[in-house]
Structure 1
């Protein structure tokens, strides 16, 4: 943005010790939009004072976050609300300059490799095994346990780059590919797990009986391991929770991304990064509030 006298005056006041003055200045700077970011970055590079640098960093963060809120709102209100896009928006919280198009191209390459191995004669289990084989054997994706000290393992673009992720990032990649390939995998809401389920053609109403009639089998998001109804029943007994219909309904994409945001927020559960936790939880609420 061209540095006018007004902008120069605003930037000059960033280090003002008066909290009220700074609040007014920061609101005005943020109202100018992300076009002001290069000016702030230039100021940061030429500011020796660490406290002022921190203020500049928070202003840049606030500008990126406001932009991300707008993008999430547009995604949530889009008729498609494509899962892969929603997950990449989560990545943009920490990596605001992320190039989305290169990751769409990578997804298409993976999709094509799976598609070439599929045919109409395969059973549901055989289709999922093809998907798993491409992801875990051909691409050598490595699943790791969820660790809130490793936030990058939650992010889809980092999974694509490093071939390492947890049940959430890998599970969302598997779901994204499944949707493109007409494989009926959906995420379900089993407590404390990121589990996918293979549904019959109509994943509609589910009765309260166990096992649910519309689910053929289950799959672990991190490893692709297949589970039976008996395995899931054993898990519920182990955690001392009674299976109910709500745990076995397919989640919509907005619900999946909201769950991803909630889990990712737990990576910032300390005083220094609490603002990040609150930002991410606010984005999750934005999606659930939009959920119909």
Structure 2
């Protein structure tokens, strides 16, 4: 038997009703890794067996999960882990046909169009106003307030292709673009609200070894691009009866953002009773939190 014939024979065993046989076959197929996914998808599309289709779906997700954990390890270990790379890793756990190359190309198109409009002579406010104009007027990105509506709004490929995202995916995309454009923008979560903050870092020339002091210049709404002053946000939080230390807003790091993003996806699929997908995301979180 050739390797291809042997592989096809193994795949056909997925229809065996014996659970023990299936477990052995599934473990064997998962070992092949992501290179096997296209072949599995072809068999799945051609099959009329519900059992075969369901089992292939499960195996593909297990392959993607294993690959995502390994990729996240490499992402964490890199010198400058990018948010967009992390978002693609997390999205691929659930959205198994995510095209990473296409997603990166779309991201680069948006980044380049923003970069062409920016220059060093602009003030911080002018830079963000320009970025917002490119995102929301030129590219026509739209934000969806309800985080429980559409599952695809967590899929970064979908967000970039259809220019539509929820509070978290739009906030993550905005922060990813800002980092690539050397703009000090960070995502903040205040209870159920997400805000972007333009953060100025100041170094004391009296003590160069001292950690830079970060101060928020203004806030940005990730859904619309509206810009708010510190006073406006303070007033809003008071109306919502939210107590927070104004001098210590909880900024997301790249890693904490990705873990938070995955946690929200887990909560979404749990809410939708899609427990098989929720279990995958939980397994990913359990694996990477202990790295």
Shared fold per TM-score greater than 0.5: yes
Which residue number in structure 1 is paired with residue 274 of structure 2? 273
Which residue number in structure 1 is paired with residue 105 of structure 2? 105
Name the SS of the counterpart of 2:15 in structure 1: coil
Matched, 1:141 2:141: yes
- Counterpart CA distance in 1 for 2:155 and 2:105 is 17
Q: CA 1:287–1:220 in structure 2 vs 1: closer, same or farther (change >3 Å)? A: farther
Aligned 1:87-102 pairs, distance under 5 A: 87-102=87-102
Q: CA 1:115–1:35 in structure 2 vs 1: closer, same or farther (change >3 Å)? A: closer
Name the SS of the counterpart of 2:186 in structure 1: strand
Name the SS of the counterpart of 1:146 in structure 2: coil
**Maintained 8 Å contact 1:200/1:216:** yes
Shift of 1:205: 7.1
**Unmatched 5+ stretches in structure 2:** 204-210
**Maintained 8 Å contact 2:61/2:94:** no
**Maintained 8 Å contact 1:148/1:264:** no
Q: How large is the Cα RMSD of the aligned pairs?
A: 2.8
Matched, 1:179 2:179: yes
- Counterpart CA distance in 1 for 2:70 and 2:249 is 32
Which residue number in structure 2 is paired with residue 210 of structure 1? none
Q: CA 1:72–1:24 in structure 2 vs 1: closer, same or farther (change >3 Å)? A: same
**Unmatched 5+ stretches in structure 1:** 207-212
**Maintained 8 Å contact 1:190/1:247:** no
- Counterpart CA distance in 1 for 2:150 and 2:94 is 13
Which residue number in structure 1 is paired with residue 207 of structure 2? none
Name the SS of the counterpart of 2:198 in structure 1: strand
Which residue number in structure 2 is paired with residue 217 of structure 1? 218
Once the two structures are superposed, what CA deviation does each residue of 1:15-61 show, in whole Å capped at 9, x if it has no partner?
33333332233222222333444554454355433123211221222
Shift of 1:161: 0.9
Matched, 1:226 2:227: yes
Q: CA 1:96–1:214 in structure 2 vs 1: closer, same or farther (change >3 Å)? A: same
Once the two structures are superposed, what CA deviation does each residue of 1:221-261 show, in whole Å capped at 9, x if it has no partner?
11111222223323433343321379614321111111111
- Counterpart CA distance in 2 for 1:118 and 1:61 is 41
